Amino acid sequence: MNSTTKSKLQIDIVNVGHGDCIIITWRNNFNQENWHCIIDSGDGSTTANTSIDKIIIKRKIKKFDLAILTHFDSDHIGGFSNIIDKVKVLRYWSPYTPAFEKYLWLFGQRGINAIKRAKSIEEKLLKQNALIESPVEGCMLSPTDGLKITVLSPPIKIFEKLLEEKDIESLFGQYPTFLGDLVIDNNDIDLEQDQRLLVQSMYSRLFKGMIRRNLVEENKEINNDSTQINLGKIDIDKQLICNKMKVEPEFFGNNVLNDTSLVFKIDCFIEKKWFSMLFPGDLENWLYLIAKHSNILKSDFYKASHHGSKAYVGNDEAYDEVIQTIRPNITVVSANGKHKLPRIKTRNSLIRWSTNVFCTQNRCNEYFNIDGSLASSGNNSCFDFYKCKSKEGSICFKLEQNKISVNSQSCYGTYSVNNYPVIQFQQHLIPDDSILTRLTENEIIQQTKWVLNKLKVIHEERKKGLKDLGSEAVTSSEIYSISLQENRNLVQKQIDQIFEYGYSNNYLWASNERGRWQKAYSTPGKDDIRVMWNIIKRADILLLNIKELQKGISSNILNASKDLLSEYIEKQTAFPKELVETYCWPLLIKTIIRNYECFGLTYTTYKSAYVWLLLVKYDKDYGTIMADMLSDFKTTFNLNDDYFYLNEDQKFYEYSKSFINEGNIIRICSSLRNDYNNKKSPEKLAISNIFEILNNKREVKIVRLE
Ligand SMILES: [Zn+2]
Ligand SMILES: [Zn+2]
């Protein structure tokens, strides 16, 4: 061991035209030997291969300790067979090939070619005894001293989905790629045994985030897979997706390949500090990464994703959101103007966030506005705008003794390693974009489903008596703590959005107080409302107090206090009183009006007026009772004809004509929870008088609902 040897990191961004090829050379001060890693291999063209060969010779590379294919795409896989022929590869990583091989019938020609090429590279490497692996999110390892690799994506769930043919239409049939449901941990297994076989095999090879590939077995499994015939029937408008992506049909499925790129960080310990590099392959949709890993995306060095193309979070373009999460000091773009890449929007966003931008192309033209502001070019690629020309050779970053040296000029330089003050200033320039806190539609749907499930569980627990029957619905802070328990970590703002979304789309009931969504509950269904009606209709008379009588029966019933009644319904159905009063009651009004006659009762003392709604069921003939009761009421309180009722005179008259059979049971459900023996308050007095009238004077037995 030579203790004077310093740690040294070299990052070669090989100029392969349109495509990616990065070669990392690392030497830790304890190691005598260099550790070499190659990430992607260009498109396989002679010029690209020559550029790679030059670096291999320059760095005296005899073996690659690790070769990584970020995804199956020709501009990344093309040069590998050339490399393998010349340099030994000890270890090889790629996405899990069988998950894509299963869809050869679906991909455009470009995808098919790349997947087949990947297969042949794997076969070749197998013969050379290379270790072939597919790491997934959660894989962390330190293949050599002072260097660690953390894989952030793809999640194994996406391979599982592909292998078991789950949600294939939404995965392939949407652009940007639909990733929202990956954020949710959904462990339901509901598939036929034979469809799960491929998944089970994959999991049997998984250990600590690493799938150890077994090509022989995988081939057998894919050949025996009988489910592909059924898959042919799925309904995806390929042309529509290609139009959205603005690509030829041969590119169909390319976004799925891009969004299943291996995304990983490499950290090197150099000069008492970790230097972190982020390699996202051709990732387009950052939704999953930002939702799950925003805390560890921050990197010193960033290989711009997808050759500086569009960055999405869900359905929205989100350049700033992505770059403000990564906050790199150095960003490298590998592109040459093909496919209009890199996009000037990407470059401008990088500049806004004060990163030093390097590109495999040289800017040959400058623009600036007279006032010094950034000249813009609309939607062009910056390659066209700045009339760029290809750089001679590759870009090499050298990290040694706290210093980064680059053999090439930056496309844009802030020349500040500590860019914090600049960023702070920039933060005022860029309005806090809502995307990071505002969930995208897809994610909201998934989160709402989760909340809805929790609400249903809570309702079931209340029903079974496992949970106290509180009269309030479930509060947002309750949801918040459940989300923490389940590692979902929803923030208050997100819960607000979920409640709002669920409420406005009729998925759940929620209450908004002072502009904030405070409580929610699982919405009662038609059957639940019917049960409530059955409870109500057992009462022959409903006595509800109300502040003042209004025009129209329904508005009176709507505004009447239902305190005791809704409490009673809560006990019977487990739906909180609050929900019964605000949600269910309005749904019941029509039925109540159809079945009950509604009267308004008022009486005044020298101090104030008291008002009740008296609802009497049609199917009992209470005409006389009502007439007598009201007149008694009138005399008792000396009301001088100022009582009134809400229905037409004729109906009331009809009631008055007939007589009630002695001994009938009248059930009264009152809205008041008074002790009726206490006759001190005039309100109570009035109520007890009604009972008295019905109970004693008319010799009718009254049973109050409890
Ligand atoms: Zn690419
Ligand atoms: Zn790609």
Q: Is residue 391 a part of any domain in this protein? A: yes
Say if residue 160 is in the same domain as residue 190.
yes
- 348 Cα–ligand 2 center, Å: 22
Distance in Å, CA 308 to ligand 1 centroid: 10
C-alpha neighbours within 13 Å on the C-beta side of residue 430 = 23
Rg (CA), the chain: 36
Ligand nearest to the CA of 111: 2
The helix/strand/coil state of 400 is strand
Check: complex ipTM more than 0.90? yes
SS3 (DSSP) at 621: coil
Integer Cα distance of 312 and 322 in angstroms: 8
Domain boundary among 522, 556, 587: 522
> What residues make up the domain containing 506?
437-522
Instruction: Compute, in angstroms, the gap from residue 164 CA to the centroid of ligand 2.
Output: 24
Cα(440) to ligand 2 centroid in Å equals 24
Ligand nearest to the CA of 255: 2
Cα(249) to ligand 1 centroid in Å equals 17
Q: Does residue 624 share a domain with residue 605?
A: yes
Residues 222-226: contacts with CB within 8 Å, 24+ apart? Answer: 222/98, 222/101, 222/102, 222/198, 225/102, 225/197, 225/198, 226/194
Measured in angstroms, how far is the CA atom of residue 645 from the centroid of ligand 1? Answer: 78
CA 574 to chain centre: 30
Indicate the number of domains in the chain: 3
Contacts of 3 (CB under 8 A, 6+ apart): 29
Around ion ligand 2, residues with a beta carbon closer than 5 Å are 73, 258, 282
Whether residues 153 and 293 share a domain: the answer is yes
Ligand nearest to the CA of 256: 2
pLDDT tens digit sequence for 371-394? 877 676 676 899 998 899 998 889
First-to-last C-alpha distance (Å) of the chain: 87
Closest listed residue to residue 110, CA positions, set 309, 285, 339: 339
Does residue 31 fall inside a structural domain?
yes
How far does the centroid of ligand 2 lie from the alpha carbon of residue 284, in Å? 9
Give the integer Cα–Cα distance in Å for 183 and 445: 11
If you measure from the C-alpha of residue 212 to the centroid of ligand 1, how many angstroms do you get, rounded to a whole number? 25
Q: Are residues 186 and 332 in the same domain?
A: yes
CA 158 – ligand 1 centroid, Å: 20
How many CB atoms lie under 10 A from the CB of residue 690? 23
The answer to whether the CB of 40 falls within 8 A of the CB of 68 is yes
Whole-angstrom CA distances from 469 to 192, 458, 562, 574 are 40, 10, 18, 7
pLDDT score at 467: 78
| 371 and 447 both lie in a single domain | no
Distance from the alpha carbon of residue 409 to the mean position of ligand 1, in angstroms: 23
Find the ligand nearest to 336 CA: 1
Type and span of the H or E element at 25:
strand 22-27
| Ligand 1 centre distance from Cα of residue 164 (Å) | 27
Query: In angstroms, rounded to a whole number, what is the distance separating the alpha carbons of residues 268 and 313?
Result: 29
Distance CA 455, CA 464 (A): 14
Cα–Cα distance for residue pair 226/412, rounded to 1 Å? 54
- Ligand index nearest the alpha carbon of residue 335: 1
Q: What is the CATH number of the domain that holds 96?
A: 3.60.15.10
CA 95 to ligand 2 center in whole angstroms: 13
Beta bridge partners, 528, equal none
Distance 307 CA to ligand 2 centre (A): 9
Whether a cis peptide bond, with omega within 30° of 0, leads into 431 is no
* Cα 630 to ligand 1 centroid, rounded to whole Å: 85
Shared domain for 425 and 451, answered yes or no, is no
**Span from the CA of 170 to the centroid of ligand 1 (angstroms):** 23
Task: Mark the ranges of the chain whose per-residue pLDDT is less than 70.
Answer: 1-5, 184-195, 226-233, 374, 376-377, 379, 415-442, 540, 551, 600-612, 618-706
Ligand nearest to the CA of 262: 2
Residue with tokens 């093909």: 338
One domain for residues 54 and 124: yes
- Our CA angle for 115, 167, 252, nearest 5°, is 40
How far, in Å, is the centroid of ligand 2 from the Cα of 598? 71
Pick from 342, 337, 409, 335: nearest CA to 15: 335
Question: Is residue 40 one of the residues assigned to a domain?
Answer: yes
Is residue 372, in this structure, part of any structural domain at all? Answer: yes
In this structure, what DSSP letter does residue 62 have? Answer: -
Cα separation of 6 and 252, whole Å?
48
How far, in Å, is the centroid of ligand 1 from the Cα of 287? 19
Q: Same domain, yes or no, for 478 and 345?
A: no
Cβ(259)–Cβ(283) under 8 Å?
A: yes
CA of 567 to the centre of ligand 1 (A): 63
243 plus 131 within the same structural domain: yes
Helices (H), 598-667: 623-637, 649-657
Distance 393 CA to ligand 1 centre (A): 19
Confirm whether 531 is domain-assigned: no
Distance 260 CA to ligand 1 centre (A): 12
**Residue 3 within a domain:** no
Q: With b meaning 16 or more CB within 10 Å and e meaning fewer, what string describes 381-405?
A: bbbebbebeebebbbbbebeeeebe
Q: Rounded distance, CA 611 to CA 646, Å?
A: 13
H helix and E strand count, the chain: 28, 32
Which ligand approaches the C-alpha of residue 339 most closely? 1
Distance 321 CA to ligand 1 centre (A): 21
CA of 258 to the centre of ligand 2 (A): 5
- Tell me, in angstroms, the distance from the centre of ligand 2 to residue 158's CA: 17
Measured in Å, residue 242 CA sits from the centre of ligand 1 at 17
- Last residue within a domain, chosen from 434, 462, 480: 434
**Kind and range of the H or E element at 530?**
helix 526-536
DSSP one-letter code for 696 = I
Distance 77 CA to ligand 1 centre (A): 9
Nearest bound ligand to CA 71?
A: 2
199 and 216 both lie in a single domain? yes
Least Cα distance to 361 among 397, 385, 388 occurs for: 388
Closest CA to 557 of 587, 525, 527: 587
Distance of CA 305 from the midpoint of ligand 1 (Å): 8
Same domain, 198 and 342: yes
Ligand 2 centre from 342 Cα, in Å? 13
35 alpha carbon to ligand 2 midpoint, in Å? 26
The residue from 412, 434, 456 where one domain ends is 434
Q: Whole-angstrom Cα distance, residue 154 to residue 71?
A: 10
Nearest to 706 by CA among 569, 576, 561: 569
Residue 2 in domain = no
Ligand nearest to the CA of 283: 2
d(CA 293, CA 304): 17
Kind of pairing between the strands at 63-64 and 88-89: parallel
Q: Tell how far the Cα of 81 is from the centroid of ligand 2, in angstroms.
A: 18
Co-location of 457 and 422 in the same domain: no
DSSP type of residue 439: P
Q: Which listed ligand is nearest to 251 at the C-alpha?
A: 2
CA of 360 to the centre of ligand 1 (A): 14
CA distance readout (Å), 41 to 119, 310, 554: 15, 22, 74
| Residue 533 forms part of a structural domain | no
Report the pLDDT value the prediction gives residue 681, as an integer from 0 to 100.
43
Three-class SS of 220-279? HHHHHCCCHHHHCCCCCCHHHHHHHHCCCHHHCCHHHHHHCCCEEEEEEEECCEEEEEEE
Q: How far is the CA of 111 from the centre of ligand 1 (A)?
A: 12
> How far does residue 355's CA lie from ligand 2's centre (Å)?
24
Ligand 1 mean position to 141 CA, how many Å? 26
CA 454 – ligand 1 centroid, Å: 41
